[in-house]
Amino acid sequence: MNALSPSTTKSFPGAIRMAAVAFAVTIVLAGASLLPEANPLHVSAFVVSLAGKYLAYAILALSVDLVWGFAGILTLGHAAFFALGGYAMGMYLMREIGTRGVYGNPDLPDFMIFLSWKSLPWYWWGTDHFAWAMLLVLIVPGILAGVFGWLAFRSRVSGVYLSIITQALTYALMLAFFQNGLGFGGNNGLTDFKDILGADLHSPLTRAVLLVMTGTVLAGCLVLSRWLVSGRFGYLLVAVRDAESRTRFLGYRPEQAKLLIWVFSAMVAGIGGALYVTQVGIINPGEFAPANSIESVIWVAVGGRGTLSGSVLGAVLVNCGKTLFTAWLPEFWLYGLGLLFLVTTLFLPQGLMGLRYHLATKRPEEVTPEVSNPEGEEA
Amino acid sequence: MCRFSRFLWAGAVCLLLAFSGMQVAVADEFSGLESGQFNTIANTVSALVASGNSQAGAVIDALGKRHLFYSPAGGVFIRSGSTYVDARTGQFVQNTPADLKPVRMNNYVRQVLASANAELELLSPQDAVRLKAATQMYAQHNPVMLPAINHALALEKNSRVRLKLEQASAAIVLAQPMKTGDEASRLAAVKALGSAADLEARGVLSAVAMSDHETAEVRKAAADTVSSIDLKQRLWSILQNAFYGLSYGSVLLLAATGLAITFGVMGVINMAHGELMMIGAYTTWMVQQGIRATVLWLEPVSLLVAIPVAFCVCGLLGILIERGLIRFLYGRPLETLLATWGLSLILQQAIRSIFGPTNIAVVTPAWLSGSWMLGSVDITLNRLAIFVFAFLVLAALMLIMRKTSLGLEMRAVTQNRRMAALMGIRTPRVDALAFGLGAGLAGLAGVAVSQIDNVSPNLGQSYIIDSFMVVVFGGVGNLWGTLAAAMTLGMGGKILEPTIGAVSAKISILVLVILYIQRHPRGMFPVRGRGVES
């Protein structure tokens, strides 16, 4: 039995509406944060960066949903792509510090001087240019996902096996990034950022702009994803998810469809990571921890897998819960998270969105998808 | 030679004494102690040791403890408690002279005394004592001891002690600066020291190889020996790491068999398996604490008591989990994975709430704390025991799978669930028992882990990824595959460690397994047959 019927790809109104909501919320929050502090509608810098963090996580959730919800690939390592994007952005921000570091060296980041490195490693080349760094945000996760996915899908590693090796992948990356010798700051990661494109990262205006940027990117990703998973390609993905062998016997190439969505999703996750780093101000190897990836899966599960807007909703709700819990009852957050996993999988297999459909129609399986071109075929 | 003949002579006198039981005055050997001269006292001590007199040990011991007294009127006495013993005869003395004075000491005497003590140990009738003394002298390579060592070497029969003495003598010879004409003896010493092949020998030899005062031939011989020692050391360290890898592999084996059973029979990947291991380790601790508080005489075997207890606790917990959670999620392996992950978070936090977040101290019983040296490999008993334990468990499991009806039913369900159900096997019961068995095995792994690793609420997390890799690498539902994979991963990682570092070793193993799975998506020993789902 599959968790979702293809009907849930009918997220057109949902995804677009969610994009609009995300965009509007960021505009409002950003505007409010720029009001004078005395104004009762003023929003503090803490809330702005918190909102930015949630939305960056929502981008990650969206990317997980693309592969899990639509292609049936349960990834337990997507935080790896998120973190790689974050590191690419971190490298740029690190170079922006320039001579304002503790050691005042214009060429080398502080941690390299601390480890008595003489010159930048080759892979830091060009990271002082914003455009190159942004390219890295996209291509580093993309290339890793491409190589990994090409190997995995070509040899038909699937299901639980795939989940476990994605977990091993992020675990291996975490171990690697913890090493000082890799040139990414070891344990401490990259931090102490000062500004981005010449704008002070700590000023309210920059923060407001970054928040709006995050909201815009999230909205853009939602629309793009929506476009990608609807129509022929989307139906092919769902077909692969629900009956891979059958799809293959019909003459399609499931591994190509999977690879495409997998690489796209990794790039989206990378963008999320880059936006995350600008607003949180640090990136360290802990972001690669397998637990982070699994947590991002539960955001999607809570929201409703296979519904793009649901993943955004899930990410924001669960992270709000986490913030509140860890502030009030730090002891109980793990209980709460654990219960969330249990309750969602046992009672809400389609998440909150499924619940909504259920309440709206009582018989979700009979909702027919809006099919524009059901006879989509490939050679 | 002179000393040697004196020794024989004195030995003969002793024999005579022993047989006749008569008190013969051998005044000359002890009389030096009655002197006020430090030199005389020191010489007497040396002579006494060389003589092999049966009282020599007692006298030297007493002198060291300042229990040796003399009377100006003649006579040497050892104080023991409030009474005195005649040093010459060892007989109890009734009327102690009133004017006893302690035998005089200064640094020179003390130095002679120290080497005399060592020399005495070198002549001890016990092999172990002699070996220990020789080893000590080898480590110190103090030139003062050379005559004593050569003397002992002339008498030594035991080959192990002889070897150690030869090495000690060689180390002393080489540590001294070279004199003209002793090239042959130095070459021999280099050869003798090469047989030791430890860091001590390497240190002495590399100094010789660097020295400007040696002849070219000696230098070359020393340099060659140093490099051969380095090679040997590297081989030994590989063996040592292989042994560590073996014990780590055994823990992985214990952890992975449980996972393999639940995945093989039910298609369930149990992410809470690591937490069941952790509960096994905490059960071990509770059993130890309980036994300590109540039946003290059971304490040495508390670990053995913990084995069945941990199995039962985790097994019952497993059945509970299966009935309460897993059975609602059959056919949805990815959802079970998430649900059991949630369960693992709850179990972790529960343990943290009950026992606190810090490590607890599980005691290793005395009979598991020792170690054997096998060459230069340190075989610690606790690791050896884990290895043996893992194989016993594997053997027991094989018996269960092959010889019991439960095993038969489990294999039937693994191969074709629907067919098995149609044949009258109660698959829900098999599922519950299989999950219980898998969880019980996790408990056993927990008992084993408690002996070599920190026991804390994070214990499960550190093993779960490796255990999964074992299951995936070995092929699901095949115990032989699990065995091969556990040992390959455990030993592979540890053997790579010294060359490329611990973290890189771990990363390369993970990457190699990932690459391997690309070629063989069902692991090393895939289950074949019609029932296998695609």
- Residue A377 belongs to a domain: no
Question: Does residue B519 sit at the A interface (CB-CB below 8 Å)?
Answer: yes
- Residue A244 belongs to a domain: yes
Amino acid A376: pLDDT: 34
Q: At what angle do helices A130-154 and A78-97 cross, to 10 degrees?
A: 160
Residues of chain A with Cβ-Cβ distance to B349 below 8 Å are 331-332, 334-335, 338
Model confidence, pTM: 0.78
Find tokens 């994009």 and name the residue: A19
Contact across the interface for A335 and B345, Cβ inside 8 Å: yes
Q: CB-CB: which of A152, A168, A334 is closest to B349? A: A334
Per-window interface: B 240-279 vs A, CB < 8 A: 263, 269
For residue A83, the enclosing domain spans: 11-357
- Cα–Cα distance between A53 and B31 in angstroms, integer? 93
Q: One-letter amino acid identity for A297?
A: V
- Residue A46 belongs to a domain: yes
Question: Does residue B345 sit at the A interface (CB-CB below 8 Å)?
Answer: yes
What are the structure tokens assigned to B406, written together? Answer: 């439960």
Amino acid B534: pLDDT: 41
- Residue A365 belongs to a domain: no
- Residue A93 belongs to a domain: yes
Q: What is the pLDDT of residues A39-57, one digit of tens each?
A: 888 888 889 999 999 999 9
Contact across the interface for A338 and B472, Cβ inside 8 Å: no
Amino acid A55: pLDDT: 96
Say yes or no to pLDDT of B532 above 60: no
pLDDT band at B15 (very low <50, low <70, confident <90, very high): low
List all residues 6 or more positions away from A77 whose beta carbon is below 8 Å from its beta carbon. A166, A167, A168, A169, A170, A290, A293
Q: What is the pLDDT of residues A228-264, one digit of tens each?
A: 998 899 999 999 999 988 999 999 999 999 999 999 9
Instruction: Please tell me which residue, B70 or B2, carries the higher pLDDT value.
Output: B70
Amino acid A142: pLDDT: 97
Q: What is the pLDDT of residues A91-114, one digit of tens each?
A: 999 998 888 888 888 888 888 888
Amino acid B20: pLDDT: 47
**Residue B448: Cβ within 10 Å count:** 30
In degrees rounded to 5, what are phi and psi of residue B374? -110, 95
**Residue A39: Cβ within 10 Å count:** 10
Q: What is the pLDDT of residues B473-499, one digit of tens each?
A: 887 667 888 899 999 998 888 888 877
Contact across the interface for B343 and A342, Cβ inside 8 Å: yes
pLDDT band at B101 (very low <50, low <70, confident <90, very high): confident
| Integer CA distances (angstroms), B75 to A231, B72, B87, B112, in order | 115, 8, 8, 22
Amino acid B6: pLDDT: 63
In Å, how far is A146's CA from the nearest CA of chain B?
14
DSSP string, B291-358: HHHS-GGGGGGHHHHHHHHHHHHHHHHHHHHHHHTGGGGTT-HHHHHHHHHHHHHHHHHHHHHHH-SS
Amino acid A366: pLDDT: 45
Amino acid A216: pLDDT: 96
- Residue A4 belongs to a domain: no
- Find which of A73, A74, A341 to mutate to test the B interface (most B CBs within 10 Å of its CB): A341
Closest-CA residue of A relative to B519 is A155
Q: What is the pLDDT of residues A111-159, one digit of tens each?
A: 888 888 888 888 998 888 999 999 999 999 999 999 999 988 988 888 8
Amino acid A207: pLDDT: 92
Among B271, B510, B470, which Cα is nearest to A172's?
B510
Question: Does residue B50 sit at the A interface (CB-CB below 8 Å)?
Answer: no
List all residues 6 or more positions away from B90 whose beta carbon is below 8 Å from its beta carbon. B54, B55, B58
- Residue A156 belongs to a domain: yes
pLDDT band at B7 (very low <50, low <70, confident <90, very high): low
DSSP string, A153-217: HHTT--HHHHHHHHHHHHHHHHHHHT-GGGSS-GGG-EE---EETTEETTSHHHHHHHHHHHHHH
pLDDT band at B149 (very low <50, low <70, confident <90, very high): confident
Q: What is the pLDDT of residues B337-379, one digit of tens each?
A: 899 999 999 999 999 999 998 999 888 888 888 888 777 788 8
List all residues 6 or more positions away from B471 whose beta carbon is below 8 Å from its beta carbon. B256, B259, B260, B263, B482, B485, B523
Partners of B360 in beta bridges: B455
Q: What is the pLDDT of residues B290-310, one digit of tens each?
A: 999 998 888 888 999 999 999
Question: Does residue B468 sit at the A interface (CB-CB below 8 Å)?
Answer: yes
Q: CB-CB: which of B334, B469, B521 is closest to A157? A: B521
Amino acid B390: pLDDT: 94
Apex B335 CA angle, B509 and A343, nearest 5: 125
- Residue A232 belongs to a domain: yes
pLDDT band at B129 (very low <50, low <70, confident <90, very high): confident
Percent of chain B at pLDDT exceeding 70: 92
Please, what is the average pLDDT of chain B?
83
Closest-CA residue of A relative to B473 is A161
In Å, how far is A222's CA from the nearest CA of chain B?
25
Q: What is the pLDDT of residues A268-319, one digit of tens each?
A: 999 999 999 999 999 999 999 999 999 999 999 999 988 899 999 999 999 9
Cα four-point dihedral sign A355, A356, A357, A363:
positive
Say yes or no to pLDDT of B97 above 80: no
Q: Could you give the number of structural domains in chain A?
A: 1
Q: What is the pLDDT of residues A315-345, one digit of tens each?
A: 999 999 999 999 998 888 989 999 999 999 9
Across the A:B interface, residue pairs with CB atoms under 8 Å apart total 123
Question: Where in B401-495 does DSSP place strands (E)?
Answer: none
Among A369, A309, A311, which Cα is nearest to A16's?
A309
Percent of chain B at pLDDT exceeding 90: 25
Question: Does residue B325 sit at the A interface (CB-CB below 8 Å)?
Answer: yes
Among B450, B436, B467, which Cα is nearest to B306's?
B450
Average pLDDT value for residue range B319-334: 89
- Find which of A318, A345, A348 to mutate to test the B interface (most B CBs within 10 Å of its CB): A345
Question: Does residue B379 sit at the A interface (CB-CB below 8 Å)?
Answer: no
Residue pair B51/B78 in contact (Cβ under 8 Å)? The answer is no
Q: CB-CB: which of A294, A339, A349 is closest to B341? A: A294
What are the structure tokens assigned to B324, written together? Answer: 């309460």
Residues of chain A with Cβ-Cβ distance to B335 below 8 Å are 3, 345, 349
CA dihedral B425, B430, B432, B435 (to 10 degrees): -160
Amino acid B355: pLDDT: 93
- Enter the DSSP assignment of B241: H
In Å, how far is A358's CA from the nearest CA of chain B?
20
Contact across the interface for B325 and A1, Cβ inside 8 Å: no
